[in-house]
């Protein structure tokens, strides 16, 4: 007979995700996770495994619930450069205002933390980068079809640059950069692309 859980594993994982997102894996203790989730260690370990496995599950949850929906919306948006501008505007809004202000991006935080040395974490970070770059390229390809891009623009190269710009927005917002400064930086980066 299967063990019946008396808690919602996804809700517990969401709480762990927020804790790891805000503080990183290295500085987040299992005690902090038990306090945030309201679960004891044995329940956490039985459901998710050790701290490493819990962190990986939280990072996967972040990707599936936060990053991928944003990327899918960007790639499917048929407005071209307006979609790219709105993607960055939304990113800045989330990073600089509201309940997650100053947290940066869990993925970008992992790039700068010791967890990046873990091969499974590294694979997730690389996967995220490809998905971000490809979503930006899809929007840029749409912009090209709509005649919005300056002649000779390489959507592949520009998508890579814009992915790096997104990482920069996340890092700078975590360091306390204000939204207006980030908006001005993004506007300066996007301006040369338009005809």
pTM of the model as a whole: 0.93
pLDDT at 2 over 70: no
Per domain, the residue ranges of the chain are 56-193
CATH homologous superfamily for the domain 56-193: Tetracycline Repressor, domain 2 (1.10.357.10)
Q: How far apart are CA 124 and CA 59, in angstroms?
A: 8
The fraction of the chain above a pLDDT of 90, given in percent, is 95
Instruction: Convert the pLDDT of each residue in 61-116 to its tens digit.
Output: 999 999 999 999 999 999 999 999 999 999 999 999 999 999 999 999 999 999 99
- Please report which confidence band the pLDDT of residue 10 belongs to, taking 50, 70 and 90 as the band edges: very high
């Amino acid at each position: 007979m299967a063990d019946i859980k008396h808690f919602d594993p996804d809700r517990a994982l969401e709480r762990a995700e927020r804790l790891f997102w805000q503080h990183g894996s290295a500085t987040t203790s299992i005690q902090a996770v038990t306090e945030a989730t309201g679960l004891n260690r044995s329940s956490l370990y039985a459901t998710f495994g050790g701290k490493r496995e819990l962190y990986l599950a939280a990072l996967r949850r972040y990707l599936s619930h936060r990053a991928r929906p944003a990327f899918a919306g960007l790639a499917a948006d048929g407005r071209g450069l307006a979609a790219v501008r709105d993607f960055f505007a939304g990113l800045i809004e989330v990073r600089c205002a509201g309940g997650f202000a100053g947290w940066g991006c869990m993925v970008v935080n992992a790039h700068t933390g010791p967890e990046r040395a873990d091969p499974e974490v590294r694979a997730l970070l690389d996967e995220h980068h490809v998905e971000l770059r490809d979503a930006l390229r899809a929007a840029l390809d749409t912009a090209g079809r709509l005649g919005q891009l300056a002649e000779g623009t390489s959507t592949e190269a520009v998508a890579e640059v814009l992915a790096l710009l997104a990482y920069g927005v996340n890092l700078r917002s975590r360091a306390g950069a204000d939204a207006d400064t980030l908006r001005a930086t993004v506007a300066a980066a996007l301006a040369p692309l338009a005809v």
